[in-house]
């Protein structure tokens, strides 16, 4: 085994480890940059074979010069996904349109501008038509996501600031991961959708607002659960560029620990991964603060975790790295 593979093996942990998120995130950026360059080379080759004399040198140069020391903004991941989609549809006009859009992206649209997490309403960025469409199509049935008014947004910003502060107090490495991966939390009001993150709009979290009758502690607990949940999905998604971890066929479905619809084993595995971390955070928060709602969230998420863990152990067909993570689930939950 090469040294680089050994180093990658050391990243495959459900346990939050200092510095791992930065390395995992950089690997993801390297992967996106490499794909951009290869996509543009393939596009130019296909255009030439079709008899077109169109140079993509400027686009390829821009891809080659992407700065890996800076975090990419969600909009760049959206554009990459749209370019791949246009190529898969064999639509030359749309492909060239997306190449033009890549050349037209500003520095602010390519790179994350703030280290802290921005908290905004949904429907405020150019890339959200595509991103929200993908998020709404994830759960079965009709999903709705409308913007949040400024009066509510100010209250929720305060709640999320409190949530992030509490996470930092009891689990600073998970807080480090959130700051590393998450550029924005975009809040919405709607139906049939609670939260969403994706490799197609990486760095952004969509999150339904809390219920109107929640008090401050309940709102903070709600945000803690879902921010840790989606940030942990970011972590696992970035690991998957190196190893799929789950080998079960996607058409085989299992009862899910969180969602009401049956899910493939990859979804069960992801859910168990994030529930391990959520339960750990709430256990630590309750021990630290004694706040009752944190105990309720701990108990519920641990029950959900037991469901997912049982399915993974009994039915999961995992790669060696997937097994490595699975062996840590129970230990990390209790830390």
pLDDT for position 2? 43
* CA pair distance 313, 326, nearest whole angstrom: 8
Name, in order, each residue with C-beta under 8 angstroms of 180's C-beta and a sequence gap of 6 or more: 21, 22, 25, 71
DSSP 8-state code for residue 211: P
Name, in order, each residue with C-beta under 8 angstroms of 142's C-beta and a sequence gap of 6 or more: 191, 192
pLDDT for position 328? 93
Whether the CB-CB separation of 331 and 276 falls below 8 Å is answered with no
What radius of gyration do the chain's Cα atoms show?
21
pLDDT for position 134? 78
pLDDT for position 1? 39
pLDDT for position 262? 87
DSSP 8-state code for residue 149: P
pLDDT for position 138? 67
And the tokens for 116? 């802290």
Q: Which residues of the chain have pLDDT under 70?
A: 1-3, 137-141, 335
pLDDT tens-digit readout, 141-194: 678 899 999 989 999 999 999 999 999 999 999 999 999 999 999 999 988 889
pLDDT tens-digit readout, 16-26: 999 999 999 99
Whether the CB-CB separation of 65 and 220 falls below 8 Å is answered with no
């Amino acid at each position: 085994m090469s040294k680089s593979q050994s180093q990658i093996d050391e990243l495959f942990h459900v346990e939050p480890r200092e510095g791992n998120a930065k390395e995992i995130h950089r690997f993801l950026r390297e992967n996106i940059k490499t794909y951009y360059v290869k996509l543009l080379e393939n596009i130019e080759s296909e255009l030439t074979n079709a008899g077109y004399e169109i140079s993509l040198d400027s686009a390829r140069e821009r891809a080659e010069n992407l700065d890996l020391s800076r975090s990419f903004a969600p909009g760049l991941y959206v554009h990459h996904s749209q370019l791949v989609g246009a190529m898969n549809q064999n639509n030359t006009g749309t492909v060239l349109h997306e190449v033009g859009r890549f050349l037209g992206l500003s520095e602010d649209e390519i790179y994350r501008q703030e280290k802290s997490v921005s908290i905004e309403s949904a429907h405020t960025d150019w890339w959200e038509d595509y991103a929200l469409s993908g998020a709404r199509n994830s759960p079965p049935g009709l999903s709705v996501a409308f913007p949040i008014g400024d009066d509510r947004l100010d209250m929720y910003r305060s709640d999320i600031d409190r949530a992030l502060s509490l996470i930092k107090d009891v689990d600073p490495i998970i807080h480090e991961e959130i700051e590393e991966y998450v550029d924005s939390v975009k809040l919405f009001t709607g139906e049939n959708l609670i939260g969403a993150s994706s490799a197609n709009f990486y760095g952004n979290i969509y999150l339904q607002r809390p219920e109107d009758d929640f008090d401050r502690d309940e709102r903070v607990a709600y945000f803690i659960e879902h921010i840790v949940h989606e940030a942990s999905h970011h972590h696992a998604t970035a690991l998957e560029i190196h190893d799929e971890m789950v080998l079960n066929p996607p058409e085989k479905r299992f009862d899910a620990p969180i969602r009401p619809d049956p899910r493939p084993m990859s979804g069960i595995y992801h859910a168990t991964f994030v529930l391990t971390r959520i339960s750990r955070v709430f256990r630590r928060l309750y021990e630290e603060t004694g706040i009752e709602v944190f105990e309720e969230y701990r108990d519920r998420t641990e029950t959900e975790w037991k469901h997912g863990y049982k399915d993974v152990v009994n039915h999961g067909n995992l790669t060696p790295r997937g097994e490595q993570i699975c062996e840590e689930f129970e230990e990390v939950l209790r830390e």
